[in-house]
Structure 1
């Protein structure tokens, strides 16, 4: 059994923040760092925005007891695998989801690919980020369940991964190493803004079901009043002209406080796929 993290000493409290999941380009990374630094400054609790580039395992980051506000994928959050508490979820300007704080994964192929429908990609090469990811793996697996014939547990010839980041999925398709892959819808928008030449080489062939956004979490041991203070700071950003340029750079409307119950659908979708014998994409 994993030992419980030690309570955070309020006197020595020094939180860390990190937005690696959506630091998909240098420009996006710089904007996220500036935004999180502003939140920590306003919180007056001490802390720093740390660099934690891929391929360093996010699982190690999520186990730390000094988490102040760090992005976490919704699937491991829904499974309760780490000692964290929810803070806020971002609200993208263009998420393709169903309501604030939701998104979809976009299924992409090369711009010059002959494929026009998802079914035409079956039997070819799939790229994915990580089996523990919702947007880069589980969302597509759930989306493919209706296409599985009785007794059939594979739709693709090969699966390339784990590629860790959505950008590497795009690059695999552009290079011809893979034929199709899922990309987090918000990451897709950031890549399209800051890497237009790269993204012009791919196109969207389908999208997965709407799901709650990855969220910023804190350590479960962070005192509730500190967590509430952080949440209120995030919520206030939407109406603060001093950070409007950062929200614009990140293609964000603002943030909401997520309901943990909403994330249970991600665990249910993953479990449903496994129950139907589709635990692996290929």
Structure 2
């Protein structure tokens, strides 16, 4: 019998991907659940992982709603994480804990930390908010930079390297449990509306391949497996579920807004 094809699973640089124990347990669970060898592929930026996915050099990837919305004609939703009972999360605007800020417009002129230029919560949501409020995204902040990681945004604001930042609300909430000393130096200025949680996606042309069918089932069944539940506990997730592209319509509208006016 020919050996089974490996499943190449791309991971964007979210804060938990630098946890080696988590990566080992995720790989072990996926190999057990799929019966395939699994290669976890990590890169520094969202763009690198998305490019590998679109080029067919990886089979599926845990990406962000922003690149999914941009490329959803080419991408199939494999599964979407469920957090606090919903496949949804928010973007947070944060500032230093000691600042007396009551609204996001008071952040004008800040040095601002973004997560990644292809991040919904760590970039797009803030750009859309500024645009909707009649300001120019490129001039609202005096200076901005990318940290390439949501944990790094929190660290930048907490240490004063940035005065404010755009961060994934799921990440900030989990960090407040796991690394409270880090989030203690920040506070939330504004929470966005609920948006589609960063999904696992694959090329539509590969959606019916044995590797993708096995990977989809492994993710959807994760909460029913003891080893899967251990991985989910580390991620602070309830599980994964199937979803329709419409879950990301609000993000797609922000993409269109910023592209048109931003």
Q: Partner of 1:212 in structure 2?
A: 196
Q: Partner of 2:9 in structure 1?
A: 17
**Distance (whole Å) between structure 1 residues aligned to residue 156 and residue 218 of structure 2:** 39
Which structure carries more helix by proportion? 2
1:148, 1:155 within 8 Å by CA — same for their partners in 2?
A: no
Counterpart among 189, 210, 218 of residue 233 in structure 1: 218
Q: Partner of 1:263 in structure 2?
A: 248
Count of aligned pairs between the two proteins: 260
Counterpart among 4, 19, 25 of residue 34 in structure 1: 25
1:65–1:225 Cα change, 3 Å: closer
**Distance (whole Å) between structure 2 residues aligned to residue 260 and residue 55 of structure 1:** 20
Counterpart among 68, 90, 107 of residue 81 in structure 2: 90
**Distance (whole Å) between structure 2 residues aligned to residue 153 and residue 222 of structure 1:** 37
How high is the TM-score relative to the length of structure 2? 0.85
1:263–1:164 Cα change, 3 Å: same
2:89, 2:169 within 8 Å by CA — same for their partners in 1?
A: yes
Query: Residue 151 of structure 2 aligns to a residue in which SS?
Result: helix
CA displacement, residues 50-107 of structure 1 (integer Å, 9 cap, x when unaligned): 34345983344333424334211111111117954321111123xxxxx721111111
**Distance (whole Å) between structure 2 residues aligned to residue 148 and residue 139 of structure 1:** 15
1:125, 1:179 within 8 Å by CA — same for their partners in 2?
A: yes
1:182 has 2:173 as partner? no
How high is the TM-score relative to the length of structure 1? 0.80
Query: Residue 192 of structure 1 aligns to a residue in which SS?
Result: helix
2:154, 2:172 within 8 Å by CA — same for their partners in 1?
A: no
**Distance (whole Å) between structure 2 residues aligned to residue 79 and residue 140 of structure 1:** 17
**Distance (whole Å) between structure 2 residues aligned to residue 145 and residue 252 of structure 1:** 32
Counterpart among 166, 169, 186 of residue 153 in structure 2: 169
**Distance (whole Å) between structure 1 residues aligned to residue 187 and residue 255 of structure 2:** 26
Displacement of 1:32 after TM fit?
A: 4.4
Q: Partner of 2:125 in structure 1?
A: 139
CA displacement, residues 129-166 of structure 1 (integer Å, 9 cap, x when unaligned): 233221111111222344226xx666623232222211
Query: Residue 89 of structure 1 aligns to a residue in which SS?
Result: strand
1:21, 1:72 within 8 Å by CA — same for their partners in 2?
A: no
**Distance (whole Å) between structure 2 residues aligned to residue 33 and residue 219 of structure 1:** 25
Q: Partner of 2:236 in structure 1?
A: 251
**Distance (whole Å) between structure 2 residues aligned to residue 162 and residue 120 of structure 1:** 21
1:109–1:242 Cα change, 3 Å: same
Displacement of 1:222 after TM fit?
A: 2.9
Q: Partner of 2:107 in structure 1?
A: 121
CA displacement, residues 190-234 of structure 1 (integer Å, 9 cap, x when unaligned): 322332211111111111122101111234443515333322221
Q: Which moved more, 1:216-225 or 1:176-185?
A: 216-225
1:118–1:185 Cα change, 3 Å: same
1:216–1:37 Cα change, 3 Å: farther
1:104, 1:209 within 8 Å by CA — same for their partners in 2?
A: yes
